């Protein structure tokens, strides 16, 4: 039986697969995934393990050789700070500008909502949070981009 984290990662990889499968440019490029977590701030002791688990799932998908004909996933990290929405949205915009097709994060509900509303959804980037728990996130006008 899959754990909650396992189910979340499966959904993220599926969402990235679906998004990337619609793209036609540069068919040999890696799939860029963003991981944005509070590497600094009040939960910084928790985030290394969260990031490592996401990166392990991406590595397993890459190493399987069956992802979109053998494509590899590369991971870009960014710091949400957990408490500073302006810093988090700037960091997330940097990921998007760098070409990520999906974002795993953020970790805290406030910055997660800010990133989804101001960066992910307007740019058509799939986003999933492994830990943000605000009920308000379930009613975001997200056009299906926030899982």
User: Is residue 67 reached through a cis peptide bond, with omega within 30 degrees of 0 on the bond before it?
Assistant: no
Joined together, the tokens standing for residue 52 give 């490592």
Q: Domain residues of the chain, as ranges?
A: 4-139
Q: Is the pLDDT of residue 8 over 80?
A: no
pTM for the complete prediction?
0.80
pLDDT tens-digit series, residues 95-111: 999 999 999 999 999 99
Cα separation, 40 vs 27, in Å, equals: 35
Contact 92, 36 (CB under 8 A): yes
Pick the CATH number of 4-139 from 3.40.605.10, 3.40.50.2300, 3.10.20.30, 3.40.50.720: 3.40.50.2300
- Given a cut of 60, whether residue 25 has pLDDT beyond it is no
pLDDT in tens, 35-73: 999 999 999 999 999 999 999 999 999 999 998 889 999
Q: At 5, is the pLDDT very low, low, confident or very high (cuts 50, 70, 90)? A: low
């Amino acid at each position: 039986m899959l754990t909650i984290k396992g189910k979340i990662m499966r959904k993220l990889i599926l969402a990235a697969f679906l998004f990337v499968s619609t793209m036609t440019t540069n068919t040999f490029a890696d799939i860029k995934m963003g991981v944005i977590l509070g590497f600094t701030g009040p939960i910084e002791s928790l985030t290394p393990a969260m990031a490592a688990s996401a990166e392990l799932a991406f590595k397993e998908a890459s190493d399987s050789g069956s992802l979109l004909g053998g494509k590899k996933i590369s991971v870009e990290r960014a710091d949400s700070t957990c408490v500073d929405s302006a810093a988090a949205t700037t960091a997330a915009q940097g990921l998007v500008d760098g070409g990520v097709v999906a974002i795993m994060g953020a970790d805290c509900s406030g910055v997660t909502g800010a990133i989804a509303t101001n960066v992910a959804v307007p740019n058509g980037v799939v986003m999933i949070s492994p830990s943000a728990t605000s009920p308000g996130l379930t009613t975001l006008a997200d056009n299906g981009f926030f899982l």
